[in-house]
Amino acid sequence: MDTCATMEPRPRVLDRAVRQATVDIVIPVLNEERALPGCVRTLARYLADFPLKWRVTIVDNGSTDATWPVATALAGEFEQVHARRLDIRGRGAALRAAWQDSPAEIVAYMDVDLSTDLDALFPLVAAVASGHSQIAVGSRLAPGARTRRSLRREVISRGYNALLRHGFGVRFRDAQCGFKAARTDVVRPLLVKIKDDSWFFDTELLLLAEHNGLRVHEVPVDWIEDADSRVQVLRTAIDDLKGLARVAWSMARGRARVEVGRPEPTPTHPDPVLTRPYRPAPRRRRATHLHGALLFMVVCALAAPAVLPVPVDAGRMAGAAAITYCLLRLTLSNPRT
């Protein structure tokens, strides 16, 4: 027997009418004339052998240097690179505009500094393309991830994500790694509810996704901090706390529900013998949320008066108490807990 001939796929196998997923990778940029050419050329070389159809979209959101001319030149150099310009600033605004108008089945984004190793791109996209998950995120805190960054960013990142886990009971470990992908038809209804146009956009997207029962898949990544980053860490952290307070208030009032979801699991076998499903007792999860609410009250004492409808002269603790009330109400009324 000719083993080689036996293992070669037959033409009828290769001719299957399978629609290949398309991926639109968005790169939001603000005053990145230095970093943008190297980013796009490196990414284009890497994607030359990518197993899915792709395009790259550069979104210049408010640059005052030569970023836009550089972006248009790159779009002329590469057939699969597109460029668009916004008059407003903010990574969230750039992603919202690009994802809303994208013709692709899967939308993704990465930072222009390519801090995340590109070898994680296919595992990220594959989790969404397979239909297993609706959103996939790169994680610097998942087991197997490797990072190189300053102590300051390490402490702030771990503290912020611990606050999310204990205050909101989320399952994902890293909310703000600039490396995400989502099914376009699923993410668009979420975009309508997202209010933030800046760095908190990522966190708000994931909080709404889990709140509405979507599956978020994490991919451990290798990540190296770029000292030329435009992120102002301390200011971003304060804005994030204000955003968390706003989202907690929205969830507590039932305004974070979105008409999007995934179907309940059904048996694959045509003749299954089903058992009664096990429903875990909710009290254990609720206890975790109660402890998280107390922690959240302390951390958000500074942010609460700026985002909640409490009297100006009521003091910071009154605003923090309002946040705690939101989380307690959310915890006791959420059927998923």
Q: Which two tokens stand for residue 19?
A: 């629609």
Secondary structure (3-state) at 55: strand
Q: Is 255 helix (H, G, I), strand (E, B) or coil?
A: coil
Q: Count of residues for the chain?
A: 337
Enter the tokens of residue 136.
């996939």
Structure tokens at 267: 């048996």
Burial zone of 290 (CB within 10 Å; 0-12 exposed, 13-18 middle, 19+ buried): middle
Closest CA to 26 of 95, 96, 117, 129: 95
Phi then psi for residue 100, to 5 deg, are -65, -35
Distance CA 116, CA 177 (A): 8
The set of catalytic residues is: 202
